[in-house]
Structure 1
Amino acid sequence: MYPKLIQTIELLKNQEISEERKATLAPLVDFIQKRLEEQKEITINFICTHNSRRSHLSQVWAQVASSYYDIPNVMCYSGGTEETAMLPKVVETLEKQGFSISKISDTENPIYAVKYDEDRHPVIGFSKKYDSPFNPMHGFAAIMTCSQADGGCPFIAGADQRIPITFEDPKASDGTSEQTKVYHERSLQIGTEMFYVFSQIKK
């Protein structure tokens, strides 16, 4: 992994997680553990309303955490209840935290390659609906990262399990002097929790 990213990982591994939050994360730990023991692929789709902020951060950090803890056959995706675009501020935040990101399609809904290691496949980031053909159709855990998507999607077709793990929307800081700080902190929170999840897996 890239040296600056390793520094960020060391920072987030030292963050505290409340017992209440650990209880929220426990069903995802159980899903991953069960799939690993059954020697099945571990497929996770992080879902938010616009697939522009929290779901991308969750997808990226979960994929990195699985690699860091050497948990095999993990594929992380993200989607929304509608398609918009991955927010440039999310890209900027991840770059500052040590990722190498290149834009591979420059449209209204750009496609980004998010690399965390020179020799690993990048995470592909772009906005799409959760049931896009790019995403898994069956056998995945649907992680609802915002309360709007959780409430607005009573049924996720093909999901083996649906788990609400919601995060506050950094969008509230857009256009303010606090924006950079808020996005940095939200990314670290999500990274901290995804690293906690994968650190609990017994191989």
Structure 2
Amino acid sequence: MYKDIKKSIAELLVLPISNERKETLSALVAYVQHKVTADLDVNINFICTHNSRRSHLSQIWAQVAASYYNIPRVFCCSGGTEATALYPKVVDTLVNTGFVIDKLSEADNPIYIIKYADSVMPIVGFSKTYDHLFNPKRGFAAVMTCVQADGGCPFVAGAEKRIPIIFEDPKVSDGTPEQTKVYSQRSSQIASEMFYVFSMIKTNRC
């Protein structure tokens, strides 16, 4: 992994996680552990209304956490109940954390290549619906990251498990002097919780 990301990880690993949040995360821990123990692919689709902020941060940090803890065959993706665009402040926040990001297009819904190490495939980031062709059609956990998607999308076709893990929307800070701080805090919270999830996984390897 890139040096700056390793530094960011060292900082987020010491962030406190309440027992209440650990309980919220326990369903995802159990799902991942079941798949790893059975030597199966771990497919996780992080879902939010617009697939523009929290779902992308969750997808990206979960993939990095799986790599960090050497959890095999983890494939994270994200989607929304509608497609918009990956919000630019999310990109800025990730770059400030140490990711290397290239924009492949200047369209209304740009496609980004997101790298955290030279030795692994980059993450492809763009806004899409949760059932987009880019995402798995069956055999995945649907992790609902916002209240609106959780309430408005009670059934996710193809999902083996539906897991609500709600994060506060950093959008509330848009256009304010606190925006950079709020986005950084939300990214760090999501990262620390995804690292907690994968730190709890026991593999079959010695």
Same fold flag (TM > 0.5): yes
Number of residue pairs the alignment of both structures matches: 203
Matched, 1:140 2:137: no
Percent identical residues: 62
- Identify the residue that residue 164 of structure 1 maps to in structure 2: 164
Q: Which runs of 4+ in 1 moved over 2 A?
A: none
CA distance in 2, matches of 1:3, 1:188: 17
CA distance in 2, matches of 1:117, 1:134: 22
CA distance in 2, matches of 1:145, 1:78: 10
CA distance in 1, matches of 2:69, 2:124: 21
- Identify the residue that residue 115 of structure 2 maps to in structure 1: 115
What is the Cα deviation at residue 177 of structure 1?
Answer: 0.1
What is the Cα deviation at residue 119 of structure 1?
Answer: 1.4
Q: SS in structure 1 opposite 2:134?
A: coil
CA distance in 2, matches of 1:58, 1:105: 23
- Identify the residue that residue 47 of structure 2 maps to in structure 1: 47
Gaps of 5+ in 2: none
- Identify the residue that residue 182 of structure 1 maps to in structure 2: 182
Give the letter for the 2:114 counterpart: V
- Identify the residue that residue 58 of structure 1 maps to in structure 2: 58
Q: SS in structure 1 opposite 2:172?
A: helix
Q: SS in structure 2 opposite 1:105?
A: coil
What does 1:22-37 correspond to in 2, within 5 Å? 22-37=22-37
Instruction: Give deviations 1:72-95, integer Å, cap 9, x for gaps.
Output: 000000000000000000000000
What is the Cα deviation at residue 136 of structure 1?
Answer: 0.4
CA distance in 1, matches of 2:193, 2:9: 11
**TM-score, normalised with respect to structure 2:** 0.98
Q: Once superposed, what is the RMSD of the aligned Cα atoms?
A: 0.4
